[in-house]
Structures are given as C-alpha cells and as structure tokens.
Amino acid sequence: MTHQHSDGTFLHAQAEKIYNDVEARIQEVQTQLSQQNPEGAPVQLSTIEQEKSFEQFLHTY
C-alpha cells in the first residue's frame, strides 16, 4: 500500500514524499493531542485514525 519494496525503499519519489508528509502530519497531531492530555501521557493515534489522516491528506494533493 505504501509502494515500497521489501527492503523499505520506495518505488517512486512521489510515493516517498507523500508517505513522509503523512507521517509528519500524524506526528504533529499526536504531539498536539499529547500536549492537551490532562494526564500528560503521550497520545498514539489508532490505525483507523492514521488511515483517516492519510485519506484527508490525499484530498489536498
């Protein structure tokens, strides 16, 4: 799904850029949510939430 070879390299530079942009966005959201968490614990997005972020990001491309 990420258009990667089994060794982790990407098939296309554009696929790598999209992957890196989405990963950065997910990290940004997790950081914001962690800072807002009253317990102070780090927040990790679920797989479904990460997929939603990916889909939303693709709509901006």
pLDDT of residue 2: 58
Query: How large is the C-alpha radius of gyration of the chain?
Result: 14
For the chain, give every domain's residue range. 13-60
20, two tokens:
């890196």
**Range list of H helices, the chain:** 13-36, 47-60
How far apart CA 10 and CA 13 sit, in angstroms, is 7
pLDDT of residue 60: 79
Across the chain, which has 61 residues, the per-10-residue mean pLDDT values are 79 89 93 92 93 86 69
pTM for this one?
0.76
